[in-house]
Amino acid sequence: MDSNWTPTPGNDPTPSQYTPYTTTPPPAAQNQQRQRGSRMVVPVLIASLLSAGLAAGGTAVLIGQDGGSTTTIVQEAITPANNASGSESSVAMPAVQTGAMDIEQMYEKYGAGVVRVEHGSGLGSGFVFDKEGHILTNAHVVDGAQGTISVSFSNNEEVEAKVIGVDNATDVAVLKVDLPASALTVIPLGSSADLEVGAEVVAIGNPFGQDRTVTSGIISAMARQIKAPNGFAINGAIQTDAAINHGNSGGPLLDMNGRVIGINSQIDTGGTGNGNVGIGFAVPVDLVKRVASELMATGKAQHAWLGVQLTDVDPTLASQVKIGSDYGAMIATVTPGSPAAKAGLTGATGQVTIKGTTYAIGGDVVVEINGDKIENVADLQAVVSAGKPGDELELTLKTSEGETKQITVTLGDQPQDPIALAG
C-alpha cells in the first residue's frame, strides 16, 4: 500500500530525556498536541483472494495517520463465518478478572497500556500486550517509517521501538520497547469468536493526536470484510459505532471486561470526508493473536491462498438459471497460476442480473469442503482462512450441468501483491 504521511510544519517531535515509567492512569489531554496530515489517496486495489463476489459496499479509509486517508473498499460477507479468524494462537493471554467494569474503571485500569506510535511521517495508536514490552498496532501505522519509531506512554515521554514484524495482509504489526516489566500496563487479549451484535465496547486511542481518548459504543455487525493494506481481503472484521478517527488506528477495541477484542483499523466516511460517521472496523483479535504469534517467532506471517473470486449461490438464482445447486459458493474467477488453477477449478462464463442483484454463472459451485457443507462465500472463506499453506482441501463441486465432481486443492502461500497477479 502506498502512503504519504507528511508532518505538519513546525510540529515535529522533539527528543526528550527518557525517564522511568509508572503505571499511573493517563493524564488529561495535553494543551499542545502534535498534528500530522496527509492528502494522498491511492487507487483502490483489486483483491484476488476470496472477495465477496460482484457487489461491494461503501468507501472506507485506513485511519492510522492524523488527518490523512487511504481509500479502500468495504465488502460485506453475506452471513457470519464460523471461526473466520483461523486457528488457535500461541500468544500468551494474561489472566483477567471476570465481571464487567464501567468505562471509568476500565480507563483507570488499562488506559496507561495504550500508547502513541509516532515516526517522521505518521502517528497512530498501539497497546502493550505482554510484560516483555511487545506492542500491537496496525501495519499501516508504521508503513513508510524512515528512521526511528517512537512510542509514548502516559507520562508523555518517548522511547524508541523496534519493529519485530509487519503483516500487510492483516494490517497487524508488532513492536517492542526495552522497559522493565514494572513500567508496563498490559491490556489482556480476549476472544472475537463469540461476540454478539449489540454488545457494548470501548475504544481507546489518539484521534488527531489527542492522547488516550476513550469513546464507547456497541458492536454494530460482525463478519464484515475490509481491504488489507496489500489489497487482499481481511475477513471477520468487527463493525462498531464507537467513535474512531484518524490516529485511532492500532488502538484497542475492548469488551466490558477490559479485554481486547480487536484492533481499530478503518472507518467508513459515507462519502462525507475523513471524519467519523459511526461506522468503524476492527481487525478481530483471534486473527491478530495468530498473526502476532508468527511475527514474534519468525518476523513474518503466512496466509493460506486459494486464488479465486467468489459469488454466493441462493435459491433465487437457482430458480432462474441452471447452476447445479441452490446453495454454495460459485467460482467467479480463477487467478492464473494459483492453487485453484492448478487444481482445475472452473470460473464463471457469464453473469446475470435478477431483481437488481448480479450473479456470476457458469462456474463450479463449491458445496462441500472435507465433507462439511458450504452454504455460501463466508463458509468457504472461513475454511481457507483457518488453513495454512500446504494444507489439502477436498472440494465437492457442482457443475453448471448439475454434475458432481471431487477436486483436491493444495493451499498456497498468499502473494504479497494482488495487483501483479491481476496483471
The torsion defined by the Cα of 380, 263, 198 and 207, in degrees rounded to 10, comes to -140
Residue of 134, 140, 246, 303 with catalytic role = 140
Please give the single-letter amino acid code of residue 368.
Answer: E
Cell numbers representing residue 202 in the block: 470501548
Cell numbers at residue 33, please?
Answer: 498536541
Q: Could you tell me the three cell numbers for 189?
A: 487479549
303 is catalytic: no
Q: Which of 152, 249, 293, 400 is catalytic?
A: 249
48 a catalytic residue: no
Q: What's CA 198's distance to the chain center, in Å?
A: 20
Place of cell 508488532: 174
Ramachandran region of residue 229, left (φ > 0), alpha (ψ -120 to 50) or beta?
alpha
Q: What is the Cα Rg of the chain in Å?
A: 22
Catalytic annotation, pick one of 143, 171, 241, 312: 171
- Grid coordinates 500500500 are at which residue? 1
The helix (H) or strand (E) run that includes residue 178 is: none
| DSSP-assigned states of every residue in 24-69 | PPPPPPPSS---EE----PPPPPP-SS---S----EEEE--SSS--
Cα–Cα distance between 154 and 183 in angstroms, integer?
A: 11
* C-alpha separations of 247 from 4, 80, 154, 368 in Å: 15, 29, 16, 42
Q: How far from chain centre, in Å, is Cα 21?
A: 31
Is residue 216 within 8 Å of residue 229, measured between CB atoms? Answer: no
* CA dist list (Å): 109 to 127, 179, 257, 321, 398: 13, 19, 11, 58, 54
111 alpha-carbon distance from chain centroid: 22
Give yes or no: 249 in active site. yes
DSSP 353: E
CA distance 240 to 168: 22
Catalytic residue ranges: 140, 171, 249
